[in-house]
Structure 1
Amino acid sequence: MMKKRKIWAGLSTAVLVAAPIASQAADVTAYPQAAFETKADQNLLQLAQAHQGHGAPVKPAASMDGEGDEGGASGENLAPQLHLYRGIEMIRGHLLVGNELIEAGRWADALPHFLHPEEEIYAGLREDLKTFNVAPFQAALKSLSQTVKAKNKDAYTRARAALDERLAAAETAVRSKETNGMYFTLETALEVLQQAADEYGEAIEKNRIANVVEYQDARGFVFEADRLVGAVMRDASAKNPDAAKALKASLDELKAVFPAVTPPKQPVKDASDFLSTIAKFELQLGNFR
């Protein structure tokens, strides 16, 4: 069984890629990769040539389910294991950028990133947690956000460790069901990057970073995706060194969009260029099935 995924090559251009549902990846015959990559590279080249000198940002469509649709329709068609893992890693992305702000003494700025996991993500994971027999962790999320509200560093450290333990248990429960853990991890990273694109698009208005929280959300998701890929990079490099290098190059390009937790006055990339870079990442995934 195949599903069609739309990957964005930039302004008004998309490529439809046939990708296996994660749980059935091992049973699906991949398309000839060389021909596919050549065609995709031509599409990206044509797009770049067509839009030289045009820097107008394109904002991804916003959802009615909240900022960037973190817990809404963008993940509703995913297989349960991918939906759950995506949600966990998005929570980790929030914690990552929130912790950066706490380390800088910016507790008030950090607080939204500790509220969003419970407010925007957790409700959508409840059924998945039951499916994989994972203990609920909403109370741990709430306890952590309370320590941030109180600006209590010692309590924060303890609550963060407790939540990390619960998240790690959930990750282990999901990964234990996967036969191709490397591909599953890369597919999860892609889903997190696509959410980062939504957040980044919401952050930009009239060629400036107008929404700092959304910029920081996108930063957290990109750096969390980078952490995920780094965890399987040795195996990826052993399987296909060139494709692994291309994955890393795409991630390095995305990370450069976020030079610091405080956004630059003007975006490093517009939203369409950001999506184009994610498309380059996605085009390599077929090499790791």
Structure 2
Amino acid sequence: MGQGRRAIELFLALGASAGLAVGCGLPYQDGAAGPESGGATATSPAPGAGHHEGGEGGEGGEGEAGHGNTSHGERKDPGSPLTYATVLGLMQGHLLVAGELMQRGRAADAEPHLAHPADELYGDLEPELSRRGAVPFRGKLTVLQDLIRTAPTAPATAQAVEEARRSIDQALAVLPNWERRDPAFVATVIRELLNTAASEYEAAITDGRIAETVEYQDSRGFVLYAEQLFSGIAPQLAASDPALERKLASTFAALKPAWPDPVPPSRPVLTAQEVRQRTAAL
């Protein structure tokens, strides 16, 4: 079973995680009716979600329950907005770290990260893209896979990465505007990405050494994209929920030393337990 395959299976299998408190102190409710449907607001209390990458205890060591507070014995709804947004976020994380590696002239290292969105994640997402009326983008991903093998240093390859990222953004944009711009929703997606990153980081470490480079890089990419999401909501959070804004900012500051470079150090800067503790603090 491939790395991304394990990731999506784990993400769907792990139970709902406690939502992040936003605004009036209530967690985001995945799938709650929003202003456009005349229902409750997106800050009604309810579960969020758990992980994505790692299925059989392989990638990220996420195979079983018991990581942080994410396991409540409920399987994620693959059609929920939170799952949809998180899977797209995991795709973005793969492409971000691939882009870093390409800039370093490490096309061979970038190749698996460019392959996973198409080979391991897209198939699970495809029914939701169709149901939600999003433009399919498998072709963009497969072209990218071909280019990284045949023309790794060509400008067209770097351009194809950016085009794929824009396609993922466009797929996210089919969610209702009130939802994808809601700090509670975005903060819960951030939590899911960080939880997944912690599990990938754990899977990268064996006997006190970083033995699995791809898993280390996956976790780095997921944190990078989560931080981008945070940057987008930080001003709004600073006004509506300054305590949460400070907590997220401090979490990223505490986590980022674990990934000093896209090429991993031989020994981890932070232990897997330290990373897990820092993500579980959210």
The equivalent residue for 1:64 is 56
**Which one-letter code corresponds to 1:140 in the other structure?**
K
Instruction: Report the 3-state secondary structure (helix = DSSP H, G, I; strand = E; otherwise coil) of the residue aligned with 1:88.
Output: helix
Map residues 1-289 of structure 1 onto 2, 5 A cutoff.
5=17, 19-24=27-32, 26=41, 63-64=55-56, 67-68=59-60, 77-78=76-77, 80-150=80-150, 151-176=152-177, 178=179, 181-281=182-282
How many residues were matched structurally?
238
Where 2:17 maps in the other structure, the secondary structure is: strand
Q: Please say if residues 54 and 200 of structure 2, whose CA atoms lie closer than 8 Å, have aligned partners that are also in contact.
A: no
What amino acid maps onto 1:263 in structure 2? P
List alignment gaps of at least 5 residues for structure 1. Answer: 8-17, 32-60, 282-289
Kindly provide the amino acid, as one letter, of the partner of residue 174 in structure 2.
Answer: A
Deviation at 1:157, TM superposition (A): 2.9
Q: In structure 2, how many angstroms separate the alpha carbons of the residues matched to 1:143 and 1:65? A: 31
Please give the per-residue CA displacement for 1:134-167, whole angstroms capped at 9, x wherever unaligned.
1211111111111111214222133223222311
Deviation, 1:197, is 1.3
| Greater strand fraction, Structure 1 or Structure 2 | 1
2:257/2:270 contact within 8 Å kept: no
- The TM-score, its normalising length taken from structure 2, stands at 0.76
Q: Which structure has the larger Rg?
A: 1
CA separation in 2, counterparts of 1:137 and 1:66?
28
Task: Write the deviation string for residues 164-200 of structure 1: whole angstroms up to 9, x where unpaired.
Answer: 2311211211242628621111111111111111211
3-state SS of 2:56 partner? coil
RMSD: 2.9
What is the distance in 2 between the residues matched to 1:223 and 1:204?
20
Distance 1:161 1:274 in 2: 30
Q: Which 5+ residue runs of structure 2 have no aligned equivalent?
A: 1-14, 20-25, 33-39, 47-52
Would the alpha carbon gap of residues 177 and 139 (structure 1) be closer, same or farther in structure 2, given more than 3 Å must change? farther
1:65 Cα deviation after fit: 8.9
Q: Distance in 2 between matches of 1:66 and 1:210?
A: 13
Residue 19 (structure 1) shift = 4.9
What amino acid sits opposite 1:63 in the alignment? Answer: G
Contact (CA 8 Å) 2:60, 2:200: kept in 1 or not? yes
Runs of 4+ in structure 1 deviating by more than 4 angstroms, as ranges, are: 27-31, 73-76
**Structure 1 CA distance, aligned partners of 2:56 and 2:180?**
36
Q: Following the alignment from structure 2 to structure 1, what is the Cα–Cα distance between the partners of residues 61 and 132?
A: 24
Structure 2 equivalent of residue 52 of structure 1: none
Partners of 2:83 and 2:278 in 1: CA distance: 23
Give the Cα–Cα distance (whole angstroms) in 2 for the partners of residues 241 and 169 of structure 1: 30
Give 1:262 shift.
1.2
- Say if 1:5 and 1:156 are closer, same or farther in 2 by CA, change over 3 A: same
Distance 1:266 1:225 in 2: 24
1:164 and 1:212 mapped to 2: Cα distance? Answer: 23
- Judging by fraction of residues, say which structure has more helix: 1
Give the Cα–Cα distance (whole angstroms) in 2 for the partners of residues 91 and 174 of structure 1: 17
Sequence identity percentage: 29
